[in-house]
Amino acid sequence: MTLLDVRDLHTQFPTSRGVVKAVDGVDLEIEKGEIVGLVGESGSGKSVLAQSILGIVDSPGRIAGGDIELDGESLLEMSDRERAELRGGRVSMIFQDPMNSLNPTLSVGEQIAETVRLHQDVGESVSLPAEIKRKILGATKDSESWRRAIEMLEAVEIPDPAGRATDYPHEFSGGMRQRAMIAMALSCEPDLLVADEPTTALDVTVQAQILEELARLKEEFDTSILLITHDLAVVAETCDRVNVMYAGEIVERAPAEELFGNPKHPYTQGLIASTPRIDREVDVTPIEGNVPDLIDIPYACHFAPRCPESDRECFEIEPPFRPVGGPDHEAACLKRGSDPELGPGPRSGDASRGRDRAGSGAGTEATDD
Amino acid sequence: MSTDTGADTPGFGERRGEFGPGEMPSEYEVEEETEEYRGLAGRLVDGILGDKMALFGAVIVLLFVVTAVFAPYLAPHGQEETFSFMKEPMTSSTLDVDDDGQTEQVLHPLGTDSFGHDILSRMIFGARVSLLVALATLAVSLTIGTTIGVLAGYYGGVIDSLLMRYVDFQWAFPELILGVAIIALSGGLGVINVIIAIGIAYIDDFARIVRGEILSIREEEYITAARAIGMGDARIMFREMLPNAVAPIIVQATLMIPLAILAEAGLSFLGLGVKPTTPTWGLLLSDGRQFIDRAWWISVMPGLAIMVTVLSFNMFGDGLRDAFDISEGEVEER
């Protein structure tokens, strides 16, 4: 069952140089209880997409078109107040930098307890005077919300949760802070957790622990996760399905195994080719060039100028999403899908091309034309 | 990429007992030295104690506060009691104090003024007014200034422009002139008017400092995180942001108290302060002005008191600022 349905979303930032189209017509679906990956280079609009879903796009950014539905309810039609209630309650988010995403002036337990108080009816007032009174009287420790906070810290496997809850963020290590952040995000058992590069700032051993934790908590709390990262290894390890984003657009989506075994879009192939491998000797081939300035890209396929296979029509014709290869595997590329004989990718072997379903692409689910 | 793991290289801790990897002779094992974390209060106390000027300031400030609070118990005489006129310091009046028909010697350590008031007693009571005015003005300017700064810094845009243009407007006037203007507008003397006048005059300092602080805090990820867990604007401003801006506010507050004392003294000196009979340092100083050639002590004693108090508050405030400034402290230690 579809939990989150993003349709043709456009998020734009008006600047003095022109309108930056950070998210330019994105479709994204997340099923209940599934981990969906969103990969792409820095500057491809992943984080803005996440912020759009949460409704916390920084001013002057705004959602210029499309719709976001959670359980069939349109988020964009909600009032600010309803939206704020949704955040932290049904939709929650964790951030890239655990060093900075906890408030240094509040104890970790207090921050989690506050989230609980804000979103769950534990019979504790959340008005400012009530908070001040609570702070002065120190009544927090006996409260239901505090008890929940300790439970959550325990759930994310922080040792001695009751003792550590009174600690301040600077007394936590990076990995523990990210755990605390996850505890905070999950404290109200959200339906959807958006994890914006949750492991990027952590070293690899801690990274693995956090990913395991996320996967375990997904089972425990039955939460869907949108995992945003530029780290392909993280995606391969954790995700059920993967969306590849480039310059504000999704260019390919497929189940994780299918995507890595059989990447179709030239950009995805480039991404995978530019990842160093430890298990075998591969030449790391970087994708030439940079993500284009997202102001008024005049050509149709945003990847065309960097694509080894592009030709004139790539600049002129908007590439529709077409089924390529395995089930649920789609790519937005003129050179893929309906006509598999055109141009071999830099790394896609003959085997993978042989599995293309020749001529199956009837241009179904085309979104952008 | 391949790492050379030779066969004779033992794994970590495998050769325990013969000093392989993972073990070392006990004499080489050092307790890991970790610097004990000092809480904010501890750091401040350390900072003040380690700074002689700040310590001096803190002691005088403490004395000032104690004097003000316990004025009736500390003052040798009541504030309205009169003795011989214009007695020099360390001289005595000889008069019948307790109405028993006999005269007594009454010592005046700082002399008496033109009305025959004991200057030391008046100054001790005056400390009360000074402290009260200073704290109350502080409360006024801190509350309003901080609110303006938080709103301007958080919302930005039009709200920021409007509020900060008002602050700029106010900044264009010297505080004392502004205070005089506000008292003139409000009409009438009195402690409350002085408090409002000085308080409003110092709003701009707080507004600027807080706005700057909020602008940088606004970009912190924990503020985005706070929004992502559904906190409202007011909550983010006053619960998430303000506590992080508290250090510069406290420093500004300690530096503002002496300014307020000075402003009150100045207004009183100009005759625009509290009622003429209220003992304040500014009024005492002003009263002695016309007798400066005959009785220098009437003006000089309260003047000294103002100077010492203001100086102490400034030294204390500077010490606090240094103690709060972690980065500077760390640089000095290295």
What is the domain range of residue A52? 2-98+184-239
pLDDT digits (tens, 9 = 90+) for A66-100: 899 998 889 888 888 888 888 888 899 988 887 88
Q: Which long-range contacts (CB under 8 A, 24 or more apart) does A198-204 make?
A: A198/A94, A198/A95, A198/A96, A198/A227, A198/A229, A199/A229, A199/A231, A199/A234, A200/A96, A200/A229, A200/A230, A200/A231, A201/A96, A201/A97, A201/A98, A201/A99, A201/A174, A202/A98, A202/A174, A202/A175, A202/A178, A203/A174
Contact between B228 and A181 using a beta-carbon 8 Å cutoff:
no
The residue out of A171, A196, A216 marking a domain boundary is A171
Q: How far apart are CA A226 and CA B49, in angstroms?
A: 52
- Pairwise pLDDT comparison (B39 vs A255), residue with the higher score: A255
Closest chain A residue to B39, measured at CA: A168
**Spacing of C-alpha A122 from chain mean position:** 31
Contact between B1 and A278 using a beta-carbon 8 Å cutoff:
yes
At A360, the pLDDT band (50, 70, 90 cuts) reads: very low
Contact between A104 and B226 using a beta-carbon 8 Å cutoff:
no
The residue out of A239, A268, A284 marking a domain boundary is A239
Q: How far apart are CA A323 and CA A271, in angstroms?
A: 20
Q: What is the pTM of this model?
A: 0.73
Is residue A267 located within the same domain as residue A330? yes
pLDDT digits (tens, 9 = 90+) for B62-108: 999 999 899 888 888 877 777 777 777 777 777 766 667 777 777 88
Total domain count, chain A: 3
Q: How far apart are CA B144 and CA B163, in angstroms?
A: 11
DSSP character for B278? Answer: S
Question: Which residues on chain B are in Cβ contact (under 8 Å) with A103?
Answer: 222, 226, 240, 243-244
So what's the pLDDT on residue A363? 38
So what's the pLDDT on residue B29? 63
* Chain B nearest C-alpha distance from A277 (Å): 9
Contact A117, A148 (CB under 8 A): no
So what's the pLDDT on residue B147? 94
Name the one residue in this structure whose structure tokens are 């879009």.
A265
Mean pLDDT, rounded, for A319-341: 78
Question: Which residues on chain A are in Cβ contact (under 8 Å) with B3?
Answer: none
User: In this prediction, what percent of chain A has a pLDDT beyond 90?
Assistant: 15
* Residue B164: count of CB within 10 angstroms of its CB: 19
Is residue A210 located within the same domain as residue A76? yes
Q: How far apart are CA A146 and CA A107, in angstroms?
A: 11
Intra-chain end-to-end CA distance of chain A, in Å: 27
- B221 CB within 8 Å of a chain A CB: yes
Mean pLDDT, rounded, for A58-73: 88
| Domain assignment of residue A336, yes or no | yes
- A98 CB within 8 Å of a chain B CB: no
User: In this prediction, what percent of chain A has a pLDDT beyond 70?
Assistant: 89
- Mapped onto helix, strand or coil, the DSSP state of residue A330 is strand
Is residue A235 located within the same domain as residue A247? no
HSE-CB at B109 with a 13 A cutoff on CA atoms is 9
* Chain B nearest C-alpha distance from A128 (Å): 7
HSE-CB at B102 with a 13 A cutoff on CA atoms is 2
Is residue A251 located within the same domain as residue A312? yes
- Pairwise pLDDT comparison (A210 vs B148), residue with the higher score: B148
| Domain assignment of residue A271, yes or no | yes
So what's the pLDDT on residue B34? 54
Burial class (CB in 10 A: 0-12, 13-18, 19+), B296: middle
DSSP character for A187? Answer: T
Residues of chain B with pLDDT under 50: 1-6, 326-334
ipTM: 0.74
Q: Pairing between strand A73-74 and A249-255? A: unpaired
- A79 CB within 8 Å of a chain B CB: no
- Pairwise pLDDT comparison (A126 vs A43), residue with the higher score: A43
The radius of gyration computed from the CA coordinates of chain A, to the nearest angstrom, equals: 22
* Chain B nearest C-alpha distance from A85 (Å): 6
So what's the pLDDT on residue B148? 94
pLDDT digits (tens, 9 = 90+) for A216-241: 888 888 899 999 988 888 888 889 99
So what's the pLDDT on residue B2? 46
Q: How far apart are CA A2 and CA A13, in angstroms?
A: 29
Is residue A120 located within the same domain as residue A193? no
Most B CBs within 10 Å, among A105, A112, A116, A128, to test the B interface: A105
Q: How far apart are CA A253 and CA A268, in angstroms?
A: 10
The residue out of A224, A239, A254 marking a domain boundary is A239
Is residue A72 located within the same domain as residue A193? yes
Cite the beta strand spans of A129-240 per DSSP E. Answer: 192-196, 224-229
Q: Pairing between strand A330-332 and A321-323? A: antiparallel
Is residue A338 located within the same domain as residue A269? yes
| Domain assignment of residue A152, yes or no | yes
| Domain assignment of residue A368, yes or no | no
Residue A142 has pLDDT above 50, yes or no: yes
Tell me the backbone φ, ψ of residue A6, rounded to 5 degrees.
Answer: -100, 125
Question: Which residues on chain B are in Cβ contact (under 8 Å) with A118?
Answer: 229-231
Is residue A87 located within the same domain as residue A198? yes
Give the CA distances from residue B113 to residues B55, B87, B264, in Å, rounded to whole numbers and listed in that order. Answer: 34, 7, 21
| Domain assignment of residue A228, yes or no | yes
Is residue A212 located within the same domain as residue A139? no
| Domain assignment of residue A103, yes or no | no
Contact between A101 and B222 using a beta-carbon 8 Å cutoff:
yes
Q: Which domains does chain B have, with CATH numbers?
A: 40-333 (1.10.3720.10)
Q: Residue type at B39?
A: G
Is residue A92 located within the same domain as residue A198? yes
Contact between B229 and A92 using a beta-carbon 8 Å cutoff:
yes
Q: CATH number of the domain at A33, please.
A: 3.40.50.300
Is residue A322 located within the same domain as residue A199? no
So what's the pLDDT on residue A348? 39
- Rounded to the nearest integer, the mean pLDDT of chain A is 82
DSSP character for B240? Answer: I
| Domain assignment of residue A179, yes or no | no
∠A10-A11-A14 over CA atoms, to 5°?
A: 125
DSSP character for B290? Answer: G
Q: How far apart are CA A212 and CA B287, in angstroms?
A: 79
Residue A341 has pLDDT above 50, yes or no: no
Partner residue facing B228 (CB), from A88, A100, A102:
A88
So what's the pLDDT on residue A358? 37
So what's the pLDDT on residue B171? 86
DSSP character for A236? Answer: H
Which bin fits A214, alpha (ψ -120 to 50), beta or left (φ > 0)? Answer: alpha
Q: Pairing between strand A192-196 and A224-229? A: parallel
So what's the pLDDT on residue B21? 57
pLDDT digits (tens, 9 = 90+) for A291-320: 788 887 778 888 888 888 888 888 888 888
- B90 CB within 8 Å of a chain A CB: no
Give the CA distances from residue A297 to residues A21, A249, B123, B173, B253, in Å, rounded to whole numbers and listed in that order. Answer: 9, 12, 76, 51, 53
Contact between B228 and A56 using a beta-carbon 8 Å cutoff:
yes
Contact A243, A28 (CB under 8 A): yes
Mean pLDDT, rounded, for A135-150: 78
Is residue A274 located within the same domain as residue A299? yes
Mean pLDDT, rounded, for A328-343: 70
| Domain assignment of residue A294, yes or no | yes
